[in-house]
Amino acid sequence: MPNTKSAKRQLRINLRRRARNKSIKSRAKTFMKKLKKAIEAGDREAALALYPRVMGEIDRAVKKGVFHENKGSRYKSKLSKQLNALLKAQG
């Protein structure tokens, strides 16, 4: 439990930041899961429709500092490879 006035203030700030970060991270991960399910199901149209939205959510999370830049790049690369494999397999 914080004792000083500045520590109490910092606790309030940390709680607000934590809620914001959690929301942004959850949103990005939800879209990533949707894209992954579409790829696994072989739903080409849904995957192509979701792809730009997912990339935007990842970029937004990186920009806000929720994901490290390298982590965002790793997610984008992994999903792109999976989508390309689906597109290549379906011709």
Has residue 26 got a pLDDT over 80?
Answer: yes
Superfamily for the 5-90 domain: Ribosomal protein S20 (1.20.58.110)
What is the mean pLDDT of the segment spanning 34-46? 95
Residue 33 burial (CB < 10 Å; 0-12/13-18/19+)?
A: exposed
pLDDT tens string 44-83:
999 999 999 999 999 999 999 999 999 999 999 999 999 9
How is residue 64 written in tokens? 């806000």
Domain chopping of the chain, boundaries? 5-90
45-54 burial, b for 16+ CB within 10 Å, e for fewer?
eebeebbeeb
Q: How far is CA 67 from CA 10, 21, 64, 74, 88, in A?
A: 22, 9, 8, 11, 30
